Amino acid sequence: KKLKRSGRLVDMTHYLLQHPHQLVSLSYFSDRYQSAKSSISEDLTIVKDIFESQGFGSLLTIAGASGGVKYVPMVNDNEGQAFVNELCKKLEDEKRLLPGGYLYMMDILGSPRLMNEVGRLFAAVFSSQQIDAVMTVATKGIPLAYAIGTYLDVPVSIVRRDHRVTEGSMVSINYVSGSTKRIQTMSLARRSLEEGANVLIVDDFMKAGGTAKGMMDLLQEFHANVVGIGVLVEAEDAAAEKRLVDDYVSVTRLEEVNDKERLVKAVPGNVLEKLKEVKQ
Ligand SMILES: O=P(O)(O)OC[C@H]1C[C@H](OP(=O)(O)OP(=O)(O)O)[C@H](O)[C@@H]1O
What span, in angstroms and rounded, lies between the C-alpha atoms of 238 and 261?
Answer: 18
Q: How far is the centre of ligand 1, averaged over its atoms, from the C-alpha of 59 (Å)? A: 37
pTM of this prediction? 0.95
CB-ligand 1 contact for 209 (6 Å cutoff):
yes
Atom of ligand 1 nearest to the CA of 140: 16
CB-ligand 1 contact for 268 (6 Å cutoff):
no
Q: What is the mean pLDDT of each run of 10 residues along the chain (280 residues)?
A: 95 98 96 96 97 95 88 97 98 93 93 98 98 97 98 98 92 82 92 97 93 96 98 81 80 94 96 96
Q: How far is the centre of ligand 1, averaged over its atoms, from the C-alpha of 9 (Å)? A: 45
pLDDT, position 100:
80
68 neighbors 28 (Cβ within 8 angstroms): yes
pLDDT, position 180:
67
Regarding an ipTM greater than 0.90, the answer is: yes
pLDDT, position 181:
75
Q: How far is the centre of ligand 1, averaged over its atoms, from the C-alpha of 63 (Å)? A: 44
pLDDT, position 37:
93
CB-ligand 1 contact for 179 (6 Å cutoff):
yes
